[in-house]
Amino acid sequence: MALVTTKKMFEMAYKNGYAIGAFNVNNMEITQGIVNAVVQEQAPLILQISKGARQYAKMSYLRAIIDVAVTENPDIPIVMHLDHGDSFELCKQCVDDGFTSVMIDASHAPFEENIRVTKQVVDYAHARGVVVEAELGQLGGIEEHVQGVDDVMAHLTDPDQAVEFVERTGVDSLAVAIGTSHGAYKFKSEPKLAFDVIEKIQAKLPGFPLVMHGSSSVPKEFKDLINKYGGQMPDAKGVPEEAISKAAKMAVCKVNIDTDLRMALTAKIREVFWTKPAEFDPRKYLGPGREAITEMVKHKLHVLGCAGKAAECR
């Protein structure tokens, strides 16, 4: 099947209490690792492309890789999504480039400006059959071009503002700030997520899909491997998987995962370089990295509850 939008995915996810995994891609091996996992688990899939990925690999290459994944796996519904679009112009370009979903992130701007820019993107995208995600409230941490705030709990999404924002913009989904944080170095201690914010928004906007950003769990197994084989990753805590599963049973229909992919790939590459220092064949270290991504993503699909849900999301 051709690329799809998130409409049917989010409808079924909300109705049946699970979330769709949205995984960031930067190259062929990462994409193959993710796609191999969803094919094995028969799960729906959102492949995200960030501004940094577009600069690194060029849109033409990334689109070609995703097109192959779609062609070779006609039973898997796949969305191509722009992650953290920072302007109307970028979102417009991505709509024109064939994305089926775009995110406009003007959460750093004042409320009225966020509404204005988001509405501009929504009007352009909807006229061309593309869905739009926006963000309200601010997350912490740093990820590529996204600079978060230091005190995440002081910048949570206001439920009343969320209602006004959705009604005035016509946006299709909303990334909410509930205490999560971008990047690998999220928390020094166990995070406390504001599930009450999700509950209040869900009560005020029944049936409306919410999105969790900054939701990688920073797996200890990969951190330990990275450090064992010459890395220098300090201790950090990600979002507990129990918290992700809880949110997925509520109004959260999309969960973003990027850091865990990078860690899986880096850990296996470092292991090969350390244990086989004479190795110079990229296939011999990128291959194990790809396999590690597949196994990690398969696990995440069960955490999210979307394993086995591909058919109902088509």
Give the residue, 262 or 215, on which the prediction is more confident: 262
- Asked if residue 292 has pLDDT above 80, the reply is yes
If we measure between CA atoms, which residue out of 204, 73, 77, 184 comes closest to residue 136?
Answer: 204
- What pLDDT is recorded for position 193? 86
How high does pLDDT run on average in the chain?
A: 91
CA atoms within 13 A on the CB side of 19: 30
pLDDT of residue 235: 79
Paired with 187 in beta bridges are: 237
Core vs surface per residue 258-274: b (16+ CB within 10 A) or e: bbbbbbbbbbbbbbbee
Which pLDDT belongs to residue 216? 81
What number is the average pLDDT over the span 25-29? 97
CB atoms closer than 10 angstroms to residue 311 = 12
- Cβ count within 10 A of residue 94: 25
Instruction: Quote the pLDDT of residue 147.
Output: 41
Going by the DSSP 8-state scheme, the letter that residue 259 receives in this structure is H
Q: What are the pLDDT digits (tens) for 87-114? A: 999 999 999 999 999 999 999 999 999 9
Give CA 283 to chain center in angstroms.
27
Strand order in the sheet with 140-143: 146-147, 140-143, 181-182
Q: Which residue has the higher pLDDT, 182 or 272?
A: 272
DSSP state of 152: G
Q: In 48-87, which positions are buried (b, 16+ CB within 10 angstroms) versus exposed (e)? A: bbbbbbbeebebeebbebbeebbeebeebbbbbbbbbbbe
Q: State the residue for tokens 């809880």.
A: 246
In the three-class reduction of DSSP (H, G, I as helix; E, B as strand; rest coil), residue 174 is classed as: strand
pTM: 0.92
Q: What confidence tens digit (pLDDT) does each residue in 170-192 have?
A: 999 999 999 876 555 545 566 77
Q: Read off the pLDDT of each residue in 239-268 and give the average, rounded to a whole number.
A: 95
278 vs 51, more confident: 278
Cα 144–chain centre separation: 13
What the block records as the tokens of 85 is 């679009």
Query: Which residues carry out catalysis?
Result: 83
Q: What is the pLDDT of residues 110-161, one digit of tens each?
A: 999 999 999 999 999 999 999 999 999 876 433 444 444 444 455 789 999 9
**Percent of the chain having pLDDT more than 90?**
82
Ranges of each domain in the chain: 7-313
* 216 against 244, higher pLDDT: 244
The CA distance from 104 to 174, in Å, is 10
Write out the two tokens for 197.
């914010």
Is the separation of the CB atoms in 134 and 105 below 8 Å? yes
**CATH code that applies to domain 7-313:** 3.20.20.70
- What pLDDT, on the 0 to 100 scale, is given for residue 139? 64
Percent of the chain with pLDDT over 70: 91
Phi, psi values for residue 298, rounded to 5° = -55, -45
Q: Determine the pLDDT at residue 181.
A: 64
